[in-house]
Amino acid sequence: MCTGACSKIIAIPLFVLAAVSVICNIMLFFPDFDTKYAAAEDQITEEVKYMGGLIGGGIMILIPAIHIHLTSAKKCCANRCGMFLSIGFAAAGVAGSLYSLTVAALGLVNGPLCQWLNESDSTLQWGTPFANSSGSYLTDKDMWKWCLIPENVVEFNVGLFATLLMSACVSLVLCLIQMINGLFGCLCGTCSGNK
């Protein structure tokens, strides 16, 4: 397979993964699909504010995806210089994927910010009740009932952060493959005109 065609195969999923990451990150700002938590101060999970899906999995994947896609087009960047540049862009994509992956993993380990009943003094308070559980709450669904408001916030956060984590992992692999593909394209050419 020529390196130009390989670039096209890599770029298309990167566009999809970038869109998925951005959508997941935006949705995380609205637990229980309600805007009041985003409008209130300190009622959004801290890892959501890091915007790993928007910055790392979105913008930092979208820009390399555009250049990688252009290396598969005739004339534009389908040359050795374009493939060399795609190595740098893919490296930026690796950095973005790692950022998104780290933020998503932290979001899963620490759990959501919610209103929960503190049994030691029987008061309702906002906080992260699973922060010291080392992620053990993920397998113990009985613990999920600790979060009272927003309703079903644990399922909401786990689903979206897990999607961000998987998206970041796949983006990371694709960008690493493109770095190798770019190296071969730089050394051997894209063969885009040899069809």
The model's pTM is 0.86
- Which of 152-156, 166-170, 187-191 is predicted least confidently? 187-191
Q: pLDDT tens for residues 119-153?
A: 667 778 888 888 877 778 888 888 888 888 888 88
Q: pLDDT tens for residues 44-63?
A: 888 888 999 999 999 999 99
pLDDT of res. 76:
61
Q: Is 123 among the domain residues?
A: no
Count structural domains, the chain. 1
Which band of pLDDT confidence, cut at 50, 70 and 90, is reported for residue 42? confident
Q: CA 138, CA 119: separation in Å to the nearest integer?
A: 21
pLDDT of res. 129:
85
Q: Is 133 among the domain residues?
A: no
Tokens of 27: 């949705």
Q: CA 9, CA 188: separation in Å to the nearest integer?
A: 19
- Which of 12-16, 119-123, 173-177 is predicted least confidently? 119-123
Q: Is 177 among the domain residues?
A: yes
Tell me the percentage of the chain whose pLDDT exceeds 70. 90
Q: Is the pLDDT of residue 189 over 70?
A: no
Sign of the dihedral defined by the CA atoms of residues 88, 4, 68, 175, in that order: negative
- Which of 53-62, 97-106, 118-127, 185-194 is predicted least confidently? 185-194
Q: Is the pLDDT of residue 84 over 90?
A: no
Q: Is 47 among the domain residues?
A: yes
Q: Is 12 among the domain residues?
A: yes
Three-state secondary structure call for residue 122: coil
Q: Is 182 among the domain residues?
A: yes
pLDDT of res. 78:
60
Q: Which domain holds residue 22?
A: 3-113+154-188
User: Mean pLDDT across the chain, nearest whole number?
Assistant: 85
pLDDT of res. 75:
62
Q: Is 139 among the domain residues?
A: no
- Residue from 193, 180, 181, 187 nearest 78 by CA: 193
pLDDT of res. 1:
54
Three-state secondary structure call for residue 132: coil
Q: For residues 95-118, give the mean pLDDT.
A: 90
Q: Tell me which long-range contacts 162-165 makes (C-beta under 8 A, separation of at least 24).
A: 162/104, 162/108, 163/20, 163/24, 164/21, 164/24, 164/25, 164/52, 164/53, 164/57, 164/100, 164/103, 164/104, 164/107, 165/101, 165/104, 165/105, 165/108
Q: Is 92 among the domain residues?
A: yes
